[in-house]
Chains A and B, each alone.
Chain A
Amino acid sequence: MVAARGAGRDGRQAEIRMAPERSQAGEIIISYFIFRMPYFIRHMKCGIWNMNTKLASLSNFKQSKLARWGAGALACLLAAYFLTPVLLNKAAEGLIREDRLVKSDVIVALAGDIRCNREKRAAELWRQGWADNVVVSGMSYAWGFHTGEAARLYVMSLGVPEEKIYMICETLNTRAEARALDDLMRERGWNSAIIVTSAFHSRRATYTVERAAPGRSFYSAPVPTGSPEWTPRAWWTRRDDVYVTVREFGSWTNTLVGGWQ
């Protein structure tokens, strides 16, 4: 601050000398700037000094623990903000298993789709000739109806002949379904199957049937994603998809630890 004041005094003296000799507009402006020079210099120097001071204090700050922690926390927050969606998308995509299809003995539409898109996809694959038979699945209720029976009727309405449709019953969960499927495949002498289920369920379902029926070949052909079906991209923004995804991760944990049967 002292240096700036000194410069100011010199500048003002220069202006006083020049002012009476020139009267034109340009010169007045120049005079004005010369007159204001000490002010500009003072502020410029002040700015530089301030900057130096700030840099020095920044350097001290950078060395302080608080600054390091703050910077670390900020970096973590930014990373979390940008990486979380990527990781969540990847995690959901990891639930899907889609295999290259091979002609098989049977197409299996697993139970649990109230919209019957699994059965629709199974019938579509049957029409394309990927297998000769279709298996539908479901369970009976105390009031005398069977969801597997409804699924069978639906598949028939889509053009699959009745004699080509088989049913597995009382499939309360995927593991029970896999065991029932294994029994049916053994009974019918089938060695390969295309598993049709919702995309979020495809990896776990195929993993479960492979475990239940070792030595047989299974190929996963999930129902395509997209509304109203579950969609992995930005799943956390849709209430239904959040429910399904969180539940599926829970079910995976249960399957891997061999929990509830």
Chain B
Amino acid sequence: MMNPKKRWGKRWARGALISLGLLTVGCAALFFALPALLIAPASVEKSDVILYGAISKHSAADKYVIDLYQRGVARKIVCVSSQVSWELYPSDYVRESLVLQGVNAEDVVSLRLPLAPCGGAETPRIVEFVKAHGWKSALYVTHPEDSRYTDNLARRFFEGEGVALSVSYSPEDREELTRNWWRTHWKTQRMVGEALIIALDRFYSGCR
């Protein structure tokens, strides 16, 4: 007959192993489900302005934004970014690039945002800018992995101020990001980073 203590230990070890296994499977499932969880379906509504926020090293959303502009989805474009290095605002360069690619210079502006700890602290400044120009609707072009969160978070700020919002992203960006994303450092970093941001923002009132 087995010693009761041994039997108890065995039962515990089995319980711990099962829990660990379930946790690992859960984490793996969550990891591979990240694209589905983070990327919302793109929604393109006719708007007064395009807010171009998909400015990063691996983004190629220029073509998409120009296409939207030329199709008449919106008559104005605002390139939005905060600084990425000393006195370096990518939105200034993106504006120039759009002008060089055929967008009327008077239809595109650069909005320099101050450094903010999170989207919840940054979005009110964009809303303020949109309202100051009298625009009533906006199409926010963002990074694919940021689309669902932007849709949830920014919509509240915009709609709270009476501005209609739709959120979209470049299909090329989405395709590039989701292709073998778990094997590429920057893609994994962006997916996991976004998931971490969403999780963290829930705990801080200034970011919700």
Contacts and interface: CB of A to CB of B under 8 A. Distances in A.
Interface of A: 114-116, 119, 138-139, 141-145, 147, 150-151, 153-154, 172-173, 239-240, 242-243, 246-247, 250, 260-261
A240 B116 CA distance: 10
Given A151-B85, A261-B185, 9 more contacts: A114-B82, A138-B85, A141-B57, A141-B93, A143-B55, A143-B93, A147-B88, A247-B193, A260-B188
Contacts of B93: 141, 143-145
Contacts of B206: 239
A191 B63 CA distance: 46
A147 B117 CA distance: 20
A144 B200 contact: no
Interface string B48-84: 0000000111011010000000000000000000111
B97 interface: yes
B40 interface: no
A115 B117 CA distance: 13
A116 B203 CA distance: 28
B196 A247 contact: yes
Contacts of A247: 193, 196
Given A150-B86, A172-B186, A143 B94 contact: yes
Contacts of A145: 88, 90, 93
B54 to A, nearest CB: 12
Interface string B86-107: 1110100110110000000000
Interface in B104-133: 115, 117-118
Nearest to A228: B115
A112 B97 CA distance: 24
B1 to A, nearest CB: 21
Q: Select the residue from B86, B87, B93 with max chain A CB neighbours within 10 A.
A: B86
Contacts of B42: none
A243 B84 CA distance: 18
A141 B90 contact: yes
B3 interface: no
B164 interface: no
Contacts of B184: 260
Contacts of B196: 243, 246-247
A242 B84 CA distance: 21
A52 to B, nearest CB: 34
Nearest to B201: A239
B196 to A, nearest CB: 6
B200 A147 contact: no
